[in-house]
Structure 1
Amino acid sequence: MSITLLLSSIVWLLTIHTLGKTGSFGNRVYGYGIMWCPALAAYITCKILGRNISDLAWQWGKPKYMLFSYLTPFLYVLIGYTIVWICGAGGFYNAAFLAKMQEDLGWTNVPPGVFLVIFLILQGVIGLIPSIATALGEEIGWRGFLLPEIAGSTRSYTKTASISGLIWAVWHYPLLIFGNYNSGGPSWYSLVTFTIGVISISFIATWFRLKSNSLWTGVMLHASHNLFVQGVFDPVTVNYPGTKYFTGEFGIVIPSIILLFAIYFWTRRKELPLCPDTNTTPSSIHPSVSSN
């Protein structure tokens, strides 16, 4: 963790120093940089410990777990934003945004309702590629390296998901508190809602990681979450004065729905190969957690 902290601190300082000065290019560079710090830290740590980076669960695993990892965020985000729209905390749909997307694609003659479906499909397929590219950097570190280390020490799904989720959440705090990584609401509110959401997602990601023995489930889950929240449902929603308190990763609705999903996955912990608190036999999920 000290290596991750050191590497991340460099990007945190650069980002905070240029707060309000950087354009989209600067935001992309620092955004990609911070998300790949965990991967670089994992690589350096493996070198120091004499481990192979190829041991970090790169196998694809069963396709159904990849599909479920992709669809799970779509489902909880859809439920969350539908609640927001029905309750009037945000509007459906942002006609100006969709019109701009139609103009960019040259499809101005397509009916808005039809284009909304096309936009969802395009983002869900093509937009997933760059989202995977950024999520992979974090997941190599969090689910590829850190999670098996914690699981090997605690031998508990609940503890592994909680500890790794808390570390994952706190890692975001510097930019959330001192940067502009929030919805514009009070920092304390963003900290609470974001922490609930991230730790809850950790329970889902941990379940898929242990069940599939593949870090790619974490990548797919992470990429899908970022894509559908930031790239689809947020921009499609009309913002009212109080919308920021309900939508996105820093509102109350999405983290609350994710928490319910996390509870569901927690109830299925007995299905996992590493769950000593339910008296199941641990299996090899990492060279350090094998029969050696």
Structure 2
Amino acid sequence: MDVLLRQLYQDRASEKETLAILIIEKDLLPLSVTDGFDVVIVLINHNQDISWEVKHYQLGERRVSFHSLSQAMMHQTLIVGNHRRLVDWLVNGKIVFDRNEFLKDVKERIESFPPGDRSKKMTIQFTKMLRRFEEGKTLFHNGHYFDAFSNMMHSLHHLARLSVIHHGFYPEVTVWEQVRHIEPQTYKLYQELLKSEETLEKRIELLILATELAIHSKTEMGSQHFLSLVQGTDDIYSIADFMSLNEVEDYCVDLELLVRHLVEKDFVSIKKIETKAEGIVKTFYRVKKF
């Protein structure tokens, strides 16, 4: 069977665009997310035309999922965190080909987690937490308790990932196991919510209060990446100016919400400039110096 498995990837290893190949076997790594497949093969290459391509194979009784992704897509995924299973695959997968120790360097980067990567990932998770919190609170006040609870739990998950990143680790599939060791108070809140015998309404109220406190205490840390881009000048910015910054692309969809929150928390001030139309002013922003 291993001979058949090798036949799937050995020819690709000789291609100059192939940087690394690794294998994840469900039987050997039971906690890895393989989407029900017995084996996952991950190939990373230089090819920018194919960002992420998947093929399925059947090898006797074993089902195989073959993922080919570009180096650029791999790095973007590690920053944005929208495929946590990829981190798990890169960290725990068996390396069968590694050109010039490319994957070894990637794993070292994951382990060392450079401050620049960490700062951006924290802001991504913070903005997602804000989004889910605002939506959950609105749904709760309108009596949609199930949807509100779902959003608030998602907000708590983003808080968990934010905590893990802050302590210098990539959030993995078993993120709550990481949080249990890193930030016990957040883990305790999660446990209490799951085991609580209170009504759903009361549990959501508790979750709103706890998340509000967490957002307040983590605003500066969670906004660090964005603030570092625009702090230290007396310039005023429109929201379009903020959104045009290349570095905010990965959380641009929630940037308006983040800016509004930073205004409320007094990190950003508003400057109104009159337009030619009487009674209409345009809103600009200035980031305060701290």
Structure 1 length normalisation: TM-score? Answer: 0.31
Query: Which structure has greater helix proportion?
Result: 1
Identify which of structures 1 and 2 has the higher relative contact order when contacts are C-alpha pairs closer than 8 Å and 6+ apart.
1
Under a length normalisation based on structure 2, what TM-score does the superposition of the two structures give? 0.31
Bigger share in strand: 2
Q: Rg: which structure is higher? A: 2
